[in-house]
Amino acid sequence: MRRAVNDLLGAYDKLIMDPVHGGIPLYRHEIQVIDHPLFQRLRNICQNDILSLVFPGATHSRFLHSIGVMHVGTRMFRSMIDAYLRERQLSEQTDLSLSQLDAIDYLAKTIRLGCLLHDSGHSSFSHQFTQARRIRELMSRPGRFTDLWRGVDYSAYHREEPGELEHEHYSVRVAHEVLSAVDLAGAGLDARDVIGIMETTDVQPSDTFCRHARTFWGFIAGEDAVSGSLLGENIPRLVMDLLSSIVSGEIDADRADYMLRDGFHSSVTIGGFNLDHLLSNLRFGWDASEPWLGLAITQKGLGALEDFVYSRHQMYRKVYAHKTALGFDWLLREAINEVLEDSDSFDWVDTCLSDMQYFAELTDNFFWEAFRKVARKHPESFSFCIVNRIKLNHLDTRENLTPDGIANHRAWLAKELGLNPAHVVTCSMRARFSNIQDNFNGIKVLVRDPINRARSLKRITGVSAFFSKFSDGTITHFYTRPDVTIAGEANPNE
């Protein structure tokens, strides 16, 4: 219990200085996680693949992003706890019991580790790695999942074997490996609970988590905790879903950190929003009749939430889907495919994707060296374009085209410009915003009656028309390869 009180009071063991958030405190077991080779590998994986070829400052790593997500997730949870205590004390004196302190401490530490490890399974160049054709073939090879967990029982995390692996499945595998090497018992934690709030898992929480979850639910919901249709065995699942939404939801620690961090390192202002204002207006929301437990935003905090969503929308349009950036992403994927044409490189990547002993070797550095090797032998290669920053020639941009619409526009461009249709390539990025609208149940607006102060929860779009302005959208850029000359134009690479 003394450990819980000390940790809640901020008795940390180490401080990391972060350019975005300032000082980030760490506990002893978190330092052990960070020092593990499978986590240290994230130092050599760029947060935004090769975005630095367009925004030179964007060289930041998954390593610092992961620590930043842990920091933001902690702030989210503690901000909601602080607001709850502050508002309860306006009407009645609220003193935390030792069991409540212990429950809050356990959940806070679980959130921190879940955030810290949420991206630990990313490989070289982050998302672009798994989008390369030959990597997709490797990751969907029959038996890949079994090989990855060979000698280890994965049934505590996955009920069945997935057909095709994503980076989230590797994050779970890495988290299991790392947490097995860490003194979690000394921190009073259970690895199942940490991994249970990560994506792709279906975990039966530990008895300790269940006990703390029931204490937390009684503390938060008060009189509502014993009303409605909620059964005792449902409470741990509700609390675990709440923690999961902080790690990975529509308004989560991951998005909050990467928007601020990517905007900062890209030297753009469109990714900015007031994190302090947003966090100060987050609340716990619950409805015992549904039952539902999740995030709520106060009415006065809707402006901060609107800034958050608009900033994300603008970052997708102006940075992530930048025409030159998406062109380099296409070249990167093709260069990865080129590297894997070499049997030695193919076999090594295959081994790394099946064995945690070698997975730490799969970083950006491996492929940069491989690109240079291919480029030296083949100046006409995609690898040569990546190494020497030779970009695709941009032709046009269209939004919200169907696959048939993309094919038709591609053919039209080729005809009008006198090109072989095979020489016109396309890159698309899809942004999803529909979850914030009526069908999204992850966050609601907390409304209080001005007279009796009674609380009620409403759908976001029932209170603000702002969010209905955003819909899922696809931006598609059309290019020619660098060595293709458009009729009537000189080749810019000559």
**DSSP, residue by residue, 441-466:** -SEEEEEE-TTT--EEEE-HHHH-SG
Give the span between the Cα atoms of 303 and 74, in whole angstroms.
22
| pLDDT of res. 290 | 78
Closest by Cα among 441, 460, 85 to 298: 460
Q: Using pLDDT thresholds of 50, 70 and 90, give the confidence band for residue 434.
A: low
Closest by Cα among 209, 216, 248, 255 to 110: 209
The pLDDT of 417-445, averaged and rounded, is: 78
Give the span between the Cα atoms of 87 and 35, in whole angstroms.
40
| pLDDT of res. 194 | 98
| pLDDT of res. 2 | 47
Give pLDDT tens digits for 364-403: 999 999 999 999 999 999 999 999 999 999 999 999 999 9
pLDDT at 442 over 70: no
| pLDDT of res. 249 | 85
Residues 6+ apart with CB under 8 A from 89: none
Residues 6+ apart with CB under 8 A from 282: 76, 79, 80, 83, 251, 295, 296, 297, 301
Give whole-number Cα distances, 47 to 425, 435, 470, in Å: 25, 24, 26
pLDDT at 4 over 90: no
Q: Could you tell me if 65 and 18 are in contact, meaning their C-beta atoms sit under 8 angstroms apart?
A: no
The per-residue pLDDT of the chain, averaged, comes to: 89
Strand pairing category for 292-298 and 455-458: unpaired
Give pLDDT tens digits for 263-281: 999 988 776 799 999 999 9
More confident of the two residues 433 and 151:
151
Helix (H) or strand (E) holding 16: strand 14-18
| pLDDT of res. 9 | 55
The pLDDT of 480-488, averaged and rounded, is: 66
The three-class DSSP label of residue 337 is helix
| pLDDT of res. 471 | 74
Give pLDDT tens digits for 8-60: 556 789 999 999 999 999 999 999 999 999 999 999 999 999 999 999 999 99
The pLDDT of 237-255, averaged and rounded, is: 92
Give the span between the Cα atoms of 70 and 117, in whole angstroms.
9
| pLDDT of res. 494 | 36
Give just the sign of the alpha carbon dihedral 71, 116, 188, 27: negative
pLDDT at 409 over 60: yes
Least confident of 186-190, 374-378, 439-443: 439-443
Can you give the pTM of this predicted structure? 0.92
More confident of the two residues 224 and 443:
443
Give whole-number Cα distances, 211 to 106, 196, 291, in Å: 11, 16, 19
Burial code (b: 16+ CB inside 10 Å, e: under 16) for 203-217 equals bebbebbbbbbbbbb
pLDDT at 211 over 60: yes
Q: Using pLDDT thresholds of 50, 70 and 90, give the confidence band for residue 61.
A: very high
| pLDDT of res. 487 | 47
Give pLDDT tens digits for 173-185: 999 999 999 999 9
Residues 6+ apart with CB under 8 A from 376: none
Find the length of the chain.
494
The three-class DSSP label of residue 306 is helix
The pLDDT of 158-186, averaged and rounded, is: 95
Give pLDDT tens digits for 320-365: 999 999 999 999 999 999 999 999 999 999 999 999 999 999 999 9
Q: Could you tell me if 479 and 392 are in contact, meaning their C-beta atoms sit under 8 angstroms apart?
A: yes
